[in-house]
A and B are shown apart, each in its own frame.
Chain A
Amino acid sequence: MDPKLAEVSQLFERFKAACAREDVDTCCNVLSKLKVLLTGFSSLPPLFEDTPNAIHELTLARDIYEHAVLLSVKIGDQDAFERDFFQLKPYYTDASSSRLPPSSQEYMILGLNLLRLLVQNRIAEFHTELELLSSTALENPCIKHAVELEQSFMEGAYNRVLSAKQTVPCKTYDYFMDLLAKTVRDEIAGCSEKAYGYLSVSDARQMLLFSSDNELLQYIKEEQPEWEIKTGQVIFQKAKESASCKEIPSLQLINQTLSYARELERIV
C-alpha cells in the first residue's frame, strides 16, 4: 500500500477513535491534518487524475469528509458543516462517473444539508439542491422528510413542522430540528407582528407555541426586545407608521413611455 495512503488511513482510525470518545478537540485537530494530507492526492477533486489507487483514495477521502460533516453537526458548527459539505459534494456528484461505489451515508447527508438550508431560511438554495437530485433520491426517506418539512413550512402549517420532530429518520437530524423549531417561532413572531397590534400574553404564548408564560417572556427579552408587555398585553412595535403604499407616478410614466416611442420611431 502507498505510504501516503497508509498514513491517512492510520490517522483516520485515530480520528474515528476520538469521535467515539467524543473528544471534540482531538477530532478537530486530526481532521485538519487529514484535510491537508488529502490535498496531496491528485486523484481527488478537482483534478480527478486516474492514478492506480484512485478508487481507494476517493473512497477514503469521501469517508473522511462524511465524518467531518457529521462532526460539525455534533459540535453545532453550521459554517463548518457548509464547508465540509461543499468539499464532500464533488464525491457524490462528479465521482459517480468513475468507478466509485455510492456511499451509504449519501442520502442522509444530503437530507441534512437540505435541512440546514431550511433552518437558515435559504429557500432558493434549498430548491436548487432539490432540482439536482434524481427521482430515486427523492423517494429516499431522508430526503422526503426534508421535502415534506419544507412544504409544511411554506404552507404555514407550523404545527406539522414541530410534530415532525418525532419522526426524524436519523438521530443526527435532531440538532437541526431543534433549530427549525426556533426558525418557525421566528416566522410566527414576524407574522403576528404584522397581523396584530397587540395580543394578550396567553394568546401570544399559544401562538408562539410556548408551554409557559415564562418561556414567552424570556423569548421576548432575548429575541424581540422591541415588544412591550403592558397589563397582560404584548404590544408589537410593528411598523404602524409604515406609510401606505407609494402612489404610482402614472402620469410621469405615461409621458416617459410616449417619449421613448417617439424616439424609437425617429431612430428607425
Chain B
Amino acid sequence: MAATMVSSAGALLAMLNESHPQLKQHALYNLNKFVDQFWPEISTSVPLIESLYEDEEFDRHQRQLAALVVSKVFCYLGDLNDSLSYALGAGSLLMSLRILIMFILFLMCLNFDHLRSVVDIFKFAGASLVCLTFLFLFLTSAKAIDEYASLKAKATESNAEAANVDPRLEAIVERMLDKCIMDGKHQQAMGIAIECRRLDKLEEAITRSDNVHGTLSYCINVSHAFVSRREYRCEVLHLLVNVYQKLPYPDYLSICQCLMFLDEPEGVASILEKLLRSENKDDVLLAFQIAFDLVENEHQAFLLNVRDRLSVPKSQSSEMVQPKSSDPDPAQNNSSTASEDVQMTEGTSASIAIVQETDPNDAIYAERLTKIKGILSGETSIQLTLQFLYSHNKSDLLILKTIKQSVEMRNSVCHSATIYANAIMHAGTTVDTFLRENLDWLSRATNWAKFSATAGLGVIHRGHLQQGRSLMRPYLPQGGSGGGGSPYSEGGALYALGLIHANHGKGIKQFLRDSLRSTNVERFIYDSAVAGEAAGISMGLLMVGSASEKASEMLTYAHETQHEKIIRGLALGIALTVYGREEEADTLIEQMTRDQDPILRYGGMYALALAYRGTANNKAIRQLLHFAVSDVSDDVRRTAVLALGFVLYSEPEQTPRIVSLLSESYNPHVRYGAALAVGISCAGTGLSEAISLLEPLTSDVVDFVRQGALIAMAMVMVQMNEAGDSRVGTFRRQLEKIILDKHEDTMSKMGAILASGILDAGGRNVTIRLLSKTKHDKVTAVVGLAVFSQFWYWYPLIYFISLSFSPTAFIGLNYDLKVPKFEFLSNAKPSLFEYPKPTTVPTTTSAVKLPTAVLSTSAKAKARAKKEAEQKANAEKAAGAESSSAATNTGKEKSSSEKDADSMQVDSQPEKKAGPEPSFEILTNPARVVPAQEKFIKFMEDSRYAPVKFVPSGFVLLRDLQPTEPEVLSLTDAPSSTVSPAGDSATGQQGSASAMAVDEEPQPPQPFEYTS
C-alpha cells in the first residue's frame, strides 16, 4: 500500500474546536507532528492555539505543547521574538524533541545574523555527527542565547544590573552551557559564553577542557573574529591572559600577542625578561621568537615601550640611560656621516665593556638584552630582510626595458610611471642598476618627476638604515649653503629618507626636522598648499591610532582653510588618527560624514575604513555601502567603495561578493573604487573570484577604471605564476600589449606600467600583506596602502605602497641571530611556486635594437634545448643589459653571474621538463616561500635544526641539536664578496662609501648623479 499522507491540517484544526479536552489534546499532539508541513495552514489558527496555551484549566503538559506549536509556527513566520517567548513557555519540551532540528535549520536560514556562527560551527566541528549534535545543541537555544546575550550586552553598556533578564532565559542558557561543558564540547561552550558575556563560564570551559592550549588559541581566534566591541574584546583577552599565566607551561607566544593587543608593554617586558634570564638557551630563543613576532605587527610605539621597559642589569643602568637621553643631539647632524644610526651600537658596546667587570650572569643577560633590543627596534629584521631581498633579487630588467622603449619621450606621466614601476620592482633590494644605466633618460625628469625619481631611490633602498643618509647625501640640501640641487630633487630626497626609515625613525627624525628648518624657504617655495596637504598627511602619520584631541583641532582648521588640498590632507590626517579605534571613532566619523564639504566626507570614508580596518564590521560596511550609492560627490562614492576593501581585508573572500554589483555601476568612479577595494582586500591572495571580477574591468570603457583595475589586478596577482592560475600569463600579456599600443590612453598605460611594477615587486620576493601571521593587522602596511590609494591626487604617493610589502621568506636564525645553512622541504611541485620565467619573447628582444640581439636568439635556441633554460636566460639577459651601458668590463660579468648563481640556490631542482616533475622541493635557508606555499613547508626529520615554534615563513628561531659542530652560515658571504654590480660605471664619488660597510650589510651602491 502506498504511504498515505494527509494533505491538510484542516481536520486537526477543526478538532481543536471540539469541546472535549481529550480531542483537543489529540489535535495538538498531531499538529505538533505536522507543523513543519502545514505551518501556513496552522498560522491562521494561531490565536486559537494561543488561547489553549493560556487556558488555566488545561493540563500543564498540554499547555506546553500548545506553546511549542505556536513557537514553531512563529519561527516559520520569521517572528523570532514571539517564537522565543512561546518556546520559553514550552519549557522542557523544547529540549527533548527530536523534530526540532527542522525547526532549528529554519531558524538558521531565516535569521541571517546566525549564518556567520553557523558557518563558523561547520568550520570547527569536523565530523558530520559532531556537526549535527552541535547544531542541535547550539541552535535549540540559539535564539534564547541571542536574546540573553543582547540583554546582557545592553546591561553592561548602561552599567545596570542584569536583573531584568528573564530567569527562564538565564536557566536555559546556563543549562546549555553546563551541558556543553559536561559533554566536552568546550568550543561551543566558549562561543556561547563569549556571546553571553558570561566570563565566569568561559573560564570554567577553558580550564576544564583537556587541551587547554588548543582551547585558548581557539578562544583568541574567536574573540578576534566575532567579538565586535573592542572594549569587551579587551575584557575577554584579559581573562585569557590570566588563564594563561596560571598554567604550568604557559604559551608565552600567545600571551604576548594578547598583551600586545591590550597594549600592555609591561607584561611583555616582564615575560621577555624572565625568559632572557633563564638558564635554558631554549627560553632565550623563545624570547627572540616572541620579539620577532611582535615586530611583524609593526606596532612601533608598543615595541619601543617594551624595549624601554626591559630592565637593565644593575650597575649599568645609568650608562644605558645616558646615551638614550642624549639622543636628540643636534650637533651630530648635518655634515657628519657618523649619524645617530650607529648610536645604538655605541651605547651597547659601552655597556658590554662595563659588564665584563661585573657578575657573569649579568653579562650573559646584557648580551641577550642587546640582541633582543636589536630585534625589538626592528633593526635585526630589517637588516636580514634587506640581505634576503638583495641576494634573492630576481627582477626582470627586460620588462622595464620594454616599457622604457615603448613609452613616448615627451609623455611625462608614462615616464614617471616607469620610474615608479622600477622603484616598486626593486623595492628594498638596493639594486638600482636600471637607473644607473639610463641616466640620460632619467635626466628628462623635471620638476615633480624629478622629485619622484629621487624619492624612488628611497623605495629601492628601503630598510637600508645605516647607509640611508650617505646614499642620499648628494641630493639632500647641503647645510645652509643652499647648494645647486633643485628644490624638487631635494624634496624628493627627504621623502626618500622618510621611506627608507619608515617606522624606524629614531635617529633620522632629528635630521629631518633640522633640514626642514634650514631649507624651509627652498622647500616650500613650490606651493604652500602642497605643503599644507603634506603637513596634514604627515600629522596623521605621526599620530596613527592615537585618537588624540588633535583630530578635532585639525577638523576645525579644515573648516577654516579655503584650500582644497589642505583640507584633503587634513581629512586624511584625521582619518589616520582614528586608526583601529573602532567604536571610539564613531563620533568623529559621524561628524565628518555629515559635513557639507565633500572632501571632509571623503576623509570620513577613510576614517571609517581605518577605524574598522580588517574587522568586517557589519555596521561599517552598511554605512560605506550607503555612501557608495547615495552621496552626491563622485570622490566620496569612489572612496566609500574603496574603503570597503580596508574594512574587509581580513576576509578577502567576502569582498568580491559585496562589491560585485558596484563593479557594474554606471558610475565609473564607483567601478574604479570597486576595483581597488578588491585589489586592497585580496592583495597577494590570488583569489579566483577577485580575478574574475577584475577581468572585465581591465577593458572598461573609461580609462581611469582600466587603470585602477590593472593596478588592483597586479595587487591580487602579486607573486603568482602561470602554474598557479593561467590568467596570470594572460594578464602579463595584456599589460605588455597595453604598454606597446600607441593608441592606448595615457591613464591606462600608466596603470599598466605600474601594474607590471607591482606584479614583480621587490625583486619578485615580496607580497602585499595586511595581516601578520597571528592575524593581527600590520599598522604600517595598512597605513601605507591607505596613503597609496591617494595617488589619484598626487602620484608620488604611489611609493607608499612599498610600506605594505612584506618579504615572502623563510629565514631561520640561530642563537646568535645568524642565518645557518640548512635544508628543509616544500611538499609541492616546484613549478607551482617558482619565479615567473624571465621574458624572452621575440617581440621584446627585437624591440631592443642592439647588436646583442644575436645573444638573445642564441638564448632562444638554448631555451628550446630545455637545458637549464632559466639559468642561461638570466645570464644572457644580464649580458645584454651590460652591453647597453656605457662601459663594459669583465669584472662585471663575473659579478653578475655570481649573483645569478647565488640566487639559484633557491631553485635547487633545475627544471627538467623531459622527466616527470618531482613532487617536492628542497629549500635552503633562507628561502623564498610564497604565501600559497606555506602549507607545504616541512622540516626534515634528520635536520640539525628544529624550530622553536613552527611557522612556515618569516623569522624562525632554530634550536641547534648538534651545538658542538661548527655551523655553516649563509647570507654572510654573498653581499661582502659581490660589490655592487654597476660599481665601476658610476661617475665620480666612488670609493668613499665602500669604506663605511658595517657588518654583513650589502655594500651601498655608489652614489650617482644625473644632470638636468
Contacts and interface: CB of A to CB of B under 8 A. Distances in A.
B1 A90 contact: no
A45 B26 contact: no
A47 B14 contact: no
Contacts of B30: 46-47
Contact of B5 (A48, A83, A85): A48
A85 B14 CA distance: 9
Interface in A28-77: 32, 35-36, 39, 45-48, 50
Interface in B1-47: 1-15, 17-20, 22-23, 26, 30, 33-34
A196 interface: no
B629 A83 contact: no
Nearest to A45: B6
Given A36-B23, A39-B23, A83-B17, A97 B11 contact: no
B976 to A, nearest CB: 62
Contact of B7 (A84, A86, A90, A266): A90
A242 interface: no
A90 B8 contact: yes
Interface string A81-113: 011111111100111011100000000000000
B665 A45 contact: no
A94 B10 CA distance: 12
B666 interface: yes
A83 B665 contact: no
A35 B18 contact: yes
A99 B15 CA distance: 25
Given A45-B6, A95-B4, A83 B15 contact: yes
Contacts of A45: 6, 11
B133 interface: no
Main secondary structure of the interface of A (DSSP, over half): helix
Contact of A48 (B4, B13, B20, B22): B4
A79 interface: yes
B99 to A, nearest CB: 15
A170 interface: no
Contacts of A97: 2, 4
Contact of B34 (A36, A46, A83, A99): A46
Given A39-B26, A83-B17, A266-B630, A93 B7 contact: yes
Interface residues of A, number: 29
Nearest to B31: A46
A95 B19 CA distance: 26
A268 interface: yes
A59 to B, nearest CB: 14
Nearest to A95: B4
B1 A87 contact: no
Nearest to B19: A32
Contacts of B11: 45-46, 86-90
Interface in A2-49: 32, 35-36, 39, 45-48
B26 A94 contact: no
A248 interface: no
Interface in B379-401: none
Given A94-B4, A99-B1, A86 B20 contact: no
A124 B20 CA distance: 31
Query: Considering residues B9, B11, B630, which has the most beta carbons from chain A within 10 angstroms of its beta carbon?
Result: B11
A47 B4 CA distance: 8
A104 to B, nearest CB: 21
A99 B1 CA distance: 8
B4 A267 contact: no
A36 B22 contact: yes
A93 B4 CA distance: 11
Given A35-B23, A86-B11, A93-B8, 13 more contacts: A35-B20, A39-B22, A45-B11, A46-B30, A48-B3, A79-B17, A82-B14, A87-B11, A87-B14, A90-B6, A97-B4, A265-B666, A267-B630
Interface of B: 1-15, 17-20, 22-23, 26, 30, 33-34, 629-630, 665-666
5 contacts: A36-B23, A45-B6, A93-B8, A98-B4, A265-B666
Give me the 8 closest cross-chain CB pairs, A-B, nearest first: A86-B14, A46-B6, A48-B4, A39-B26, A86-B10, A83-B14, A87-B11, A267-B629
